[in-house]
């Protein structure tokens, strides 16, 4: 269990580094899928099989398929001119330093907090999670449903091909016709 935790944690960190430093969009998406599956393995190693299965099904299975479809649809190429500016440390030194400072602060807080619990792989089953969700958390579940409905409406409105705003900007199309 411990070896699975540390190995998948290492894989998750390395794959995430691959995501943020990659130049090809498809390669970055595949690295992100690897990172998510590694985090799901971390969940299995911690003793949360329900969360791990959900991570694979929803994150790696649904959200990342959305990313892959959009990348395929837009037919993106690696941005080569951006890649040239990467050799200059002026472009990546500031953000990396800021993130490192934040990481240092987080680690110092964790050390100061003195959390001494040890995870011994005791399973938390889907039954307990479901009883919590549909017992005291029922209102939160309905709020999540409303959030998903709002996201559905927003995505289908914004993602239309002939947006009225778009037509006004390009200007030279015929004005009156409704699609």
Q: What mask of x and - would describe binding to other proteins in positions 9 to 48, judged by CB under 8 A? A: x--xx--xx-xx-x--x--xx--x--xx--x--xx-xxxx
In the list 61, 106, 142, 168, the residue contacting other proteins (rule: CB under 8 A) is 106
Interface with other proteins (CB under 8 A), residue from 142, 166, 168, 173: 166
Q: Would you count residue 171 as binding other proteins (CB under 8 A)? A: no
Q: What are phi and psi of 76, to 5 degrees?
A: -80, 150
- Token reading at 38: 């590694």
User: According to CB under 8 A, which residues from 120 to 139 bind other proteins?
Assistant: 120-122, 124, 128-129, 131-133, 137
Q: Cβ of residue 19: shortest distance to other proteins, in angstroms? A: 6
Q: How far is the CB of 179 from other proteins (least distance, A)?
A: 14
The Cα 118–Cα 132 span in angstroms is 23
Task: Provide the minimum distance between the beta carbon of 9 and other proteins in the complex, in angstroms, as a whole number.
Answer: 5
Instruction: State phi, psi for 114 to the nearest 5 degrees.
Output: 65, 45
Residue 136: C-alpha distances to residues 109, 128, 132 (Å): 31, 12, 6
Measure the CA angle with vertex 131, ends 60 and 53; round to 5°: 15
By CB under 8 A, the residues from 70 to 99 that bind other proteins are: 70-71, 73-74, 76, 79, 82, 91-92, 94-96, 98-99
Decide: 48 and 54 in contact? Cβ < 8 Å. no
* Distance of closest approach, residue 93 Cβ to other proteins, in angstroms: 10
- For the chain, the residue count is 179
Residue 122's SS3 state is: coil
């Amino acid at each position: 269990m411990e070896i699975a935790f540390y190995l998948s944690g290492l894989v998750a960190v390395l794959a995430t580094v691959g995501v943020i430093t990659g130049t090809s969009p498809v390669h970055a998406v595949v690295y992100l899928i690897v990172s998510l599956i590694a985090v799901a393995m971390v969940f299995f190693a911690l003793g949360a099989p329900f969360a791990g299965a959900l991570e694979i099904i929803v994150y790696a299975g649904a959200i990342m398929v959305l990313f892959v479809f959009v990348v395929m649809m837009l037919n993106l190429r690696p941005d080569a001119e951006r890649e040239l500016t990467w050799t200059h440390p002026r472009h990546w030194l500031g953000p990396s330093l800021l993130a490192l400072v934040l990481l240092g602060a987080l680690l110092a807080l964790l050390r100061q907090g003195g959390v001494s619990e040890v995870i011994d792989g005791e399973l938390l089953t889907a039954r307990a999670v479901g009883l919590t969700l549909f017992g005291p958390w029922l209102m939160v579940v309905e709020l999540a449903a409303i959030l998903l409905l709002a996201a559905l409406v927003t995505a289908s409105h914004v993602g239309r091909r002939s947006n009225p705003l778009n037509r006004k900007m390009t200007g030279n199309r015929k004005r009156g016709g409704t699609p």
